[in-house]
Structure 1
Amino acid sequence: MKAIVQDAYGSADVLKLRDIDPPAVGDGDVLVQVHAAGVEAGVWHLMTGMPYLLRLMGFGLRAPKNPVRGLDVAGRVEAVGRKVTRFKVGDEVFGACDGSFAEYACAREKRLAPKPGNLTFEQAAAVPISAYTALQAVRDKGRVRTGQKVLVIGASGGVGTFAVQLAKMYGADVTGVCSTTKADLVRSIGADDVIDYTSEDFADGPRRYDVILDIAGNRSLSHLRRALTPKGILVIVGGEEGGPWLGGTERLLRAALLSPFVGQKLLGLVSAERQKDLEFLKELLEAGKIKPVVERAYPLSEVPEAIRHLHKGLVRGKVVITVPGTPEESGPPTAPSTEHL
């Protein structure tokens, strides 16, 4: 099968399209014929091996243990292990796996759910990791409820677009922070107000927020706390700053150390793959309560360019990968698909 592989850590230049053997199917595994795969920040970190903490966590010290990149997946079941009970050959599924930038990928049964019937494979591939990260930030950590004022920093990205919609679903008054060119997108997905960070600092105004979701940001804790109410909740979701060893984890640790000594709650989120969350998101998607925002799709051969585009911070919502030989390899959206929101 064709797959995007890497033999060493590095930039997107280390990624190569090669022919390799399909993955072996274990007793509890589902082999998926990949129709589309999502591109998100975790792929970049696994590609570069940065921060070094990732390597110490078992992903490989000198080179990735799993050479095939890609985490989000949507496709059809090709084969199932003998202990699999929830899926059969031909079922349409979406979820997470290790190595979705390939014609076939293997996932544990608990990492998948039936694909929402109202979504294309491209749209479904944009959902899993970004959406359950947003759900856990909004519902579990932020405990967002009706009438609260919520600030979403990074509102135009993969996690942010879901966070805005979920916070609105839970009844909050939502302000999104993004750049000038993405303001209309953030309004279109339900934000009540938008702050353009290129011309305005959200902490300088008179407004204070009950919950702040800082998605992959780099602002100091003191700066973020200025915009919180005295009893407000700050949820830090990832981050691209920090040293080479800990990266954004440094800020999460500082928040955990400071939180007991201030009136505000300063929380870090390390999202977890939960089957029940994926199934809950499927229900929300089918009910039209949330929608994925897909900027565009790249063919499998152009994964390196897709990752470069993501890392430059240019993406509006998500970009996805389509796989040759599947029905959705052509005709990707050329602009964010928000008209249905």
Structure 2
Amino acid sequence: MKAIQFDHYGDVDVLEINEVAMPIPNDEQVLIKIKAFGINPLDWKLRAGIMQHFFTLNFPHLLGAEFAGVISKIGKNVTQFKVGDHVYGRANHTYAQYSVAHPSSLQIIPEFLDFAQAASLPSGSQIAYSALSVIGQIKKGQDVLIHAGAGSVGSNAIQIAKKFGANITTTVSENNLNLAKKLGADHIIDYKKTKLQHIDQRFDLILDTVGGQTQIDSWELLKDQGTLVTLVSDEREHFKTPKKDQNYYFMHGIQGNIFNTVHQMIVDRDIQPVIDHIYDFKHIADAQKRSQNGHLSGKIVVTI
């Protein structure tokens, strides 16, 4: 089968399409013929070597964490799926024509989604739900600030917060103002025109997907007993005002067994896909370059 690999850290030109052995599922796994997979910021950070102090890679390395595809083989102990099922979910090494996955990480693709749309959902939706609900304990009527509301996590977070009945403020660039409104944001901040230091409103819950100065300034926007959840960096040593009654969480990965809950929200169309761009398999370098440049309007997806 064909797979996208890199054998040393570097720019997008280190990515190569190679012929590799087909993965073999064990008795508890299924083999997936990949039709589409999502691009995440972690992918290019791993490729560039930015994360090598946290993750040790074996070269040549095969990236990928989410997919949509068709089950082509099942292990003898797998009973909840069958060959031919159209599924989506999370698995390792999905930058390839085939990958193996455990049934607990799979769901049947709703009939109203195509493969590309389904592949855009697993990571962003589950991370957003983890941050807002599992960690942030979001409640109806709360004032919630979601940074980078047009990104993969942010666009899912707005929809999830809306379902919970929160009052949502989000930061986006000017070209994503209409998208943020369409997703359900109540108040939209053009971060290039309005500094966080100039915002008078205070928030019960803040989701930070930007880090750096954005996180530092966000800490000052919390209400008493407010919570800041970040996905990208720990800037606490730079916080101006020590506060004892606010909560801070640096969230690492998906929290809890939430896939069934999030899947039901997708089935109910409370969470809908937002796709920035779809690339063909052979254009993986362009896909990662776009991800690395940022300023996205949703998810980047690669189809096979």
Count of residue correspondences:
303
Give distance in 1, aligned partners of 2:215 and 2:124.
23
Shift of 1:110: 2.1
- Which residue does the alignment assign to 1:186? 180
Give distance in 1, aligned partners of 2:145 and 2:255.
25
SS of residue matched to 1:295: strand
Q: In the alignment, is residue 314 of structure 1 matched against residue 295 of structure 2? A: yes
Q: Is the Cα–Cα contact under 8 Å of residues 155 and 164 in structure 1 kept in the other structure?
A: yes
- Which residue does the alignment assign to 2:267? 286
Give distance in 2, aligned partners of 1:176 and 1:131.
17
- Which residue does the alignment assign to 1:339? none
Q: Is the Cα–Cα contact under 8 Å of residues 66 and 99 in structure 1 kept in the other structure?
A: no
Q: In the alignment, is residue 232 of structure 1 matched against residue 226 of structure 2? A: yes
Structure 2, unpaired ranges of 5+: none
Q: Is the Cα–Cα contact under 8 Å of residues 154 and 217 in structure 1 kept in the other structure?
A: no
Q: In the alignment, is residue 296 of structure 1 matched against residue 277 of structure 2? A: yes
Give distance in 1, aligned partners of 2:170 and 2:189.
6
Q: Give the partner amino acid of 2:267.
A: E
Identify the match of residue 245 of structure 2 among 240, 245, 263: 263
Give distance in 2, aligned partners of 1:266 and 1:86.
39
- 1:268–1:82 CA distance, 2 compared to 1 (3 A): same
Give distance in 1, aligned partners of 2:120 and 2:163.
19
Shift of 1:221: 5.0
- 1:180–1:91 CA distance, 2 compared to 1 (3 A): same
Shift of 1:218: 2.1
Q: Is the Cα–Cα contact under 8 Å of residues 178 and 197 in structure 1 kept in the other structure?
A: yes
Identity, % of aligned positions? 29
- Which residue does the alignment assign to 1:155? 149
RMSD: 2.0
Give distance in 2, aligned partners of 1:83 and 1:42.
33
Q: Is the Cα–Cα contact under 8 Å of residues 36 and 125 in structure 1 kept in the other structure?
A: yes
Shift of 1:65: 5.0
Shift of 1:273: 6.6
- 1:74–1:15 CA distance, 2 compared to 1 (3 A): same
Aligned positions of 1:31-46 closer than 5 A: 31-46=31-46
Q: In the alignment, is residue 8 of structure 1 matched against residue 8 of structure 2? A: yes
Shift of 1:129: 1.0
Q: Give the partner amino acid of 1:21.
A: A
Q: Give a deviation string over 1:222-271, Cα, whole Å, max 9, x none.
A: 42221111221111122xxxxxxxxx3x43x759xx98x62111111112
- 1:43–1:289 CA distance, 2 compared to 1 (3 A): same
- Which residue does the alignment assign to 1:17? 17
* Segment of structure 1 superposing worse, 46-55 or 293-302: 46-55
- Which residue does the alignment assign to 2:119? 125
Q: Give the partner amino acid of 1:278.
A: F
Q: Give the partner amino acid of 1:269.
A: M
- Which residue does the alignment assign to 1:330? none
Q: Give the partner amino acid of 2:42.
A: G
Structure 1, unpaired ranges of 5+: 239-247, 324-341
Aligned positions of 1:172-211 closer than 5 A: 172-211=166-205
Q: Which 4+ residue blocks in structure 1 deviate beyond 6 angstroms?
A: none
Give distance in 2, aligned partners of 1:200 and 1:184.
17
Q: Is the Cα–Cα contact under 8 Å of residues 195 and 202 in structure 1 kept in the other structure?
A: no
- 1:263–1:237 CA distance, 2 compared to 1 (3 A): same
Q: Give a deviation string over 1:94-149, Cα, whole Å, max 9, x none.
A: 11111212111111222222222321111110011111000001111111111111
SS of residue matched to 1:213: strand
Give distance in 2, aligned partners of 1:162 and 1:254.
30
Q: Give the partner amino acid of 1:49.
A: G
Give distance in 1, aligned partners of 2:277 and 2:303.
10
Q: Is the Cα–Cα contact under 8 Å of residues 196 and 217 in structure 2 kept in the other structure?
A: no
* Segment of structure 1 superposing worse, 217-226 or 281-290: 217-226
Q: Give a deviation string over 1:259-294, Cα, whole Å, max 9, x none.
A: 8x62111111112275x4222222111111110101
- Which residue does the alignment assign to 2:212? 218
Q: Give the alignment's TM-score, normalised by structure 1.
A: 0.84
Q: Is the Cα–Cα contact under 8 Å of residues 98 and 105 in structure 1 kept in the other structure?
A: yes
Shift of 1:204: 1.4
Q: Give the alignment's TM-score, normalised by structure 2.
A: 0.93
